[in-house]
Amino acid sequence: MPAASQLSSPHLLGIEGLSPAEIELLLDLSEHYVKMNRSGNKKSDVLRGRTIINVFFEASTRTRTSFELAGKRLGADVINISPEVSAVRKGETLLDTALTLDAMHADLLVVRHPESGAVQLIAEKVRCAVVNGGDGAHEHPTQALLDALAIRRRLGRLHGLVVAICGDILHSRVARSNMLLLKTMGADVRVVAPPTLMPADIDRYGVSVFHDLAEGVRDADIVMMLRLQQERMRGSYVPSIAEYFHFYGLDRAKLAGAKPDALIMHPGPMNRGVEIDSDVADDINRSLIQEQVEMGVAVRMACLDLLTRDLSTNQGTGQ
C-alpha cells in the first residue's frame, strides 16, 4: 500500500471515498497526538493563526468538546455556536449561516446536523474546509477513525479482526462509518439488530447480518454496542425497552460466546440497562469505552492538522 502524505479531499465528509492509505495516514498522525496529549506539554502551535468554528445543530458532549480541545491544543482560535443562541432562531437558513461564518475567514467548520447530506451541502458552498461531526443517520467519520485507533492500539491491527456492531444499526451514522472503515481495512464485520432496526440496504456494505446477539458476537474480537436512537424514530421499532434489553442488551451471558478477551466498545452516550449492562460497560479489563474518548481528541487533532496544512491548495469549490 503506497503511503499517503495528505488527504485527497479538502474536506472530511465521510469515510466513504477514503483510501486505506489515507486512513493509515490519519491513524498514524493520531498516534503522534496521543503521545503529545499524554505528555506534560499538551500544546503546540501548528494551527496558530487558524480559526475553527464548531457548528452543532444537535446535542453533543464528546464530539464537540474534543474538537474544541483538539483545536485549542494545536493553537487555533476555536468558537462554538449552537442554533439555540444563533440567528438560526431568527429563521436564517443553514447555508446562510455557513456563508456568514465563511465570510469571517474561518479556516475550518466542524458541522453536526440532524439531516443526512446537510454537511456536504455546506462544503459545496464555502471556501473553508469542512469536517462532518455527524449528519443524520449518514456518517460520523471521526468516530470511526477514533474507534479504529482504539482497536489498532490494543490489538495491533484491523485486518482480519472479527468486529460485531450491535444495536440500532438503522439510525446509526456511527455504524455506517464503522462498516465502511473496517471493511476498507480488511476486518470481518458483522451487524446484529432486530429486523426493524436493520437498514434495507445493508447488503451494500458487505457485512454479515445477524438477528441474534449471542450468535452475532460468537468468537468476535470486538463487540461494539450502539445506543437506541429514539430521537430519530418516528413510530415504534421495539416492543419495549425491557424486551429490547432482554434480547439485544449486552450482558455477561450474551458476551460469553465472544473471544475470551474480546473488547467492548460504545461510542457514547450510553444508555445503561437499555443496550448495555453496567457490569460489562465498566469492566476495566474488557471495556475500551474510556479509551475511545481519549482517542477522540487525538484523532480530531490529526484531522484538523491535515485539513489545514496547506490552505492555498486546500480550498473548497465555492465562491
The residues annotated with a catalytic role in the active site are 62-63, 90, 112, 140
Burial of residue 164 (CB within 10 Å: 0-12, 13-18, 19+) is buried
Other CB atoms within a 10 A radius of the CB of residue 239 amount to 12
Q: Is 264 in the site for ligand NCD (CB under 6 A)?
A: no
Residues contacting ligand NCD: total by CB under 6 A: 11
Q: In this structure, are residues 78 and 52 in contact, taking their beta carbons and an 8 Å threshold?
A: yes
In the complex, the smallest distance separating the C-beta of residue 305 from ligand NCD, rounded to whole angstroms, is 20
Among 50, 113, 127, 140, binds ligand NCD (CB under 6 A): 140
Q: How far is it between the farthest Cα atoms of the chain?
A: 57
Confirm or reject binding of residue 267 to ligand NCD (CB under 6 A): yes
Residue 173 is a binding residue for ligand NCD (CB under 6 A): yes
Tell me the C-alpha distance between 127 and 114, whole Å. 23
Q: Which DSSP letter does residue 257 get?
A: T
Q: What is the smallest separation between the CB atom of 3 and ligand NCD, expressed in angstroms?
A: 29
Q: Is residue 54 close enough to count as binding ligand NCD by CB under 6 A?
A: no
Cα dihedral 62, 63, 66, 67, rounded to 10, equals: -160
Q: Identify any residues that bridge with 272 across adjacent strands, giving them in sequence order.
A: 276
The 3-state DSSP class for residue 314 equals coil
Nearer to ligand NCD, 133 or 216 (CB): 133
The only residue of 28, 31, 42, 62 in contact with ligand NCD, by rule CB under 6 A: 62
Select 19 or 271, whichever has its Cβ closest to ligand NCD: 271
**Least distance CB 295 / ligand NCD (angstroms):** 12
At its nearest, how many Å lie between ligand NCD and the CB of residue 145?
12
User: Closest CB to ligand NCD among 227 and 286?
Assistant: 227
4 vs 169, beta carbon nearer ligand NCD:
169
Cell numbers for 213, please give them.
446477539
Residue nearest to ligand NCD (CB): 227
Strands 108-113 and 51-56: parallel
CB of 227 to ligand NCD, least distance (A): 4
Q: Is 211 in the site for ligand NCD (CB under 6 A)?
A: no
The binder of ligand NCD chosen from 114, 268, 273, 318 (CB under 6 A): 268
CB of 173 to ligand NCD, least distance (A): 5
Per rule CB under 6 A, is residue 232 in the interface with ligand NCD? no
Contact indicator for 126, 98 with CB cutoff of 8 Å = yes
- Look at residues 75, 16, 14, 79 and name the one whose alpha carbon lies nearest to residue 47: 75
Closest CA to 144 of 314, 311, 295, 309: 295
C-alpha 124/C-alpha 98 separation (Å) is: 11
The least distance separating ligand NCD from the CB of residue 269, rounded to whole angstroms, comes to 6
Instruction: Tally the C-alpha atoms within 13 A of residue 35's C-alpha that lie toward its C-beta.
Output: 5
For position 63 contacting ligand NCD by CB under 6 A, the verdict is yes
C-alpha cell at 183: 471493511
Residue 239 one-letter amino acid: P
Among residues 110, 174, 192, 213, which is the contact residue for ligand NCD, using CB under 6 A?
A: 174
Q: How far apart are CA 125 and CA 240, in angstroms?
A: 43
Residue whose grid cell is 432486530 = 194
Binding mask 108-137 for ligand NCD (x = CB under 6 A): --------------------------x---
Q: Which of 11, 176, 227, 254 binds ligand NCD (CB under 6 A)?
A: 227
Residues that bind ligand NCD (CB under 6 A): 62-63, 134, 140, 143, 173-174, 227, 229, 267-268
